């Protein structure tokens, strides 16, 4: 029986929640030592974006099949790694071994509470944040993984030890990775997600604590290279819960299957461009105001609305720093730039002010007919945004619709800008731009469990100055 009670400080929990806000998550029934999306990005400094649609059988009685859209945000640096289920640091002493320390969001629990009769009247079991350590040992006969993960978000306070064997097989464009995972979970973890507390017991649902137990999963993940950059993704997992977990009155007996399909785009490595002394750094300073509640992104982009919220005029001020990944893709007037930045929310004493961190990839198109006179760029950014405090405009609009909020949301950044140098006739400022944009946080219409099943978000219309250094 596992028994863990390490000290967890408030500071550690806050750091874990903040960093984890920029990570993704994976299936509650496949908490494997090896991520299904590891090695999708292999070039040092490489980044990628994509999505998968997941289907899994709910472990709860009457839960049915759950469908979920999972956006993929991928990055692989020399010492920092961001996969679809975690973000952390790594140490690679040689080609055979790798050590990772990371934060990972655990998507167990039942956000469907209130929709499944077997869970009526029970307190919602929330997603948690784990601090994890994984050791990886790779040989021609396969790869061994050993992981330990402990909840640092004061959610379950539980711990899990996972051991896994995986074998990578490749033929042409097709890669497959079958694996076997054994997961040993302590009593706190199992009791939180699959137990029934005394005050939740009713007729037909007695109080129950499954205590510690061992789950076994068989997994198969695959990729197919459509092109040098585009990959199709697919996978399947079958998990057998420990017998004491299956005896819980809220848990469906039998195997727990899940599978996913999706695609990802590999932007390549920024290091190839950084090796060139001419590669610039983009610095963008912005200021914006919250759009009126009825002025959503589609109406803004189609020039049907540009109204600002005059009742509660909250604002943002921020800085984004970017580095190019691709310039003139296939010879077209199309660049891709990776950005990271911080945005400060002034919520005008309606609530405490907050900060959001944005991480996104952005495409710029500059092939418009008049560009030889005034260079004009159309930009579209896509990534993830984490706010240490949900902005007031989201809190108020979601409360009016009786919808949940989430600190972690998808991020869109459409912009249009022109060369400042071309406007004023200064060659020195030719690569400086002034423009308009929309800072858009969204839950993708409530389709993503990673984003808290949020249907809604916020729009800030902003102006900016961007310079190449």
| 101-152 pLDDT per residue, tens | 998 878 787 755 457 888 888 988 887 889 999 999 999 999 999 999 999 9
Band of pLDDT at residue 391, cut at 50, 70 and 90: very high
pLDDT at 469: 86
Residue 445 CA, chain-centre distance (Å), reads 16
Q: Is residue 307 within 8 Å of 364, Cβ to Cβ?
A: no
Give the lowest-confidence range in 75-79, 95-99, 346-350. Answer: 75-79
Q: State residue 294's pLDDT score.
A: 86
**Quick one: average pLDDT of 306-316?**
94
The percentage of the chain sitting over the pLDDT mark of 70, rounded to a whole number, equals 88
Q: How far is CA 26 from CA 52, 96, 127, 179, 235, in A?
A: 10, 26, 11, 16, 12
For the whole model, what pTM was predicted? Answer: 0.80
Rounded CA separation 195/86 (Å): 26
The secondary structure of residue 16, as a DSSP letter, is H
The mean pLDDT of 41-65, rounded to a whole number, is 84
The arithmetic mean of pLDDT across residues 315-324, rounded, is: 96
Assigned token pair, 30: 């496949």
pLDDT value for 8: 38
What pLDDT sits at residue 35?
65
**pLDDT greater at residue 44 or residue 341:** 341
| pLDDT at 406 exceeding the cut of 60 | yes
Distances (CA, A) of 139 to 94, 96, 144, 172: 12, 7, 8, 21
- Interval 212-270: pLDDT, tens: 999 999 999 999 999 888 999 999 999 999 999 999 999 999 999 999 999 999 887 77
Please give the residue that has the higher pLDDT: either 22 or 94.
Answer: 94
Helix H segments across 2-106?
10-20
pLDDT of residue 143: 95
Tokens for 356? 């959001």
Predicted confidence band of residue 330 (pLDDT cuts 50, 70, 90): confident
3-state secondary structure of 340: strand
What pLDDT was estimated at residue 274? 63
- Dist CA 213 CA 9 (whole Å): 27
Q: What is the mean pLDDT of the chain?
A: 86
Q: Which residue has the tokens 């020039």?
A: 303
Q: List domains and CATH numbers for the chain.
A: 10-268 (2.40.160.40), 272-468 (2.40.160.20)
Cα gap 234→311, rounded to integer Å: 48
Whole-number Å distance between alpha carbons of 38 and 94: 17
Q: Both ends of the chain: CA-CA distance in Å?
A: 57
Q: Is the dihedral of CA 321, 325, 331, 332 positive or negative?
A: negative
DSSP letter string, 395-426: HHHHHHTT----SEEEEEEEEEEEEHHHHHT-
Token duo for residue 108: 């167990």
């Amino acid at each position: 029986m596992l028994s863990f009670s390490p000290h967890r400080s408030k500071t550690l929990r806050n750091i874990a929640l903040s960093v984890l806000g920029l990570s993704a998550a994976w299936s509650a029934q496949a908490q494997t030592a090896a991520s299904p999306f590891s090695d999708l990005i292999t070039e040092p400094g490489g980044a990628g974006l994509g999505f998968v649609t997941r289907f899994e059988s709910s472990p709860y009685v009457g839960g049915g099949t759950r469908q979920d859209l999972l956006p993929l945000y991928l990055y692989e640096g020399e010492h920092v790694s961001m996969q679809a289920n975690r973000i952390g640091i790594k140490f690679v002493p040689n080609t055979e071994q790798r050590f990772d320390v990371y934060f990972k969001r655990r998507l167990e629990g039942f956000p469907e509470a209130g929709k499944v009769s077997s869970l009526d009247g029970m307190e919602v079991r929330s997603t948690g944040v784990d601090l994890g350590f994984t050791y990886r040992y790779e040989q021609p006969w396969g790869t061994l993984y050993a992981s330990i993960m402990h909840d640092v978000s004061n959610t379950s306070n539980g711990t899990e030890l996972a051991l896994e064997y995986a074998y990578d097989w490749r033929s042409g464009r097709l890669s497959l990775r079958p694996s076997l995972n054994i997961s040993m979970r302590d009593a706190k973890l199992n009791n939180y997600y699959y137990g029934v507390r005394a005050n939740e017991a009713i007729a037909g649902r007695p109080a129950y604590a499954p205590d510690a137990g061992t789950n076994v999963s068989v997994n198969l993940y695959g990729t197919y290279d459509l092109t040098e950059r585009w990959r199709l993704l697919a996978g399947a997992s079958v998990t057998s819960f420990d017998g004491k977990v299956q005896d819980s009155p809220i848990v469906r007996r039998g195997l727990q299957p899940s599978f996913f399909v999706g695609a990802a785009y590999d932007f390549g490595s920024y290091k190839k461009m950084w090796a060139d002394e001419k590669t610039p750094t983009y610095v963008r300073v912005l200021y914006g105001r919250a759009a009126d509640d009825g002025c959503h992104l589609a109406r803004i982009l189609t020039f049907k609305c540009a109204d600002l919220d005059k009742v509660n005029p909250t604002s943002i001020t921020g800085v984004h720093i970017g580095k190019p990944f691709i310039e003139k893709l296939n010879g077209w007037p199309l660049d891709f730039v990776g950005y990271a930045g911080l945005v400060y929310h002034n919520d005008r004493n309606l609530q405490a002010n907050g900060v959001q961190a944005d991480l996104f990839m952005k495409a710029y198109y500059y092939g418009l007919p008049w560009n030889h006179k005034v260079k004009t760029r159309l930009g579209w950014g896509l990534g993830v945004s984490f706010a240490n405090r949900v902005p007031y405009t989201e809190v108020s609009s979601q409360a009016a619709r009786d919808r949940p909020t989430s600190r972690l949301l998808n991020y869109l950044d459409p912009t249009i800008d022109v060369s400042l140098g071309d406007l004023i006739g200064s060659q020195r400022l030719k690569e400086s731009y002034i423009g308009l944009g929309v800072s858009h946080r969204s839950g993708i219409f409530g389709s993503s469990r990673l984003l808290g099943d949020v249907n809604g978000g916020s729009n800030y219309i902003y102006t900016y100055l961007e310079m190449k250094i």
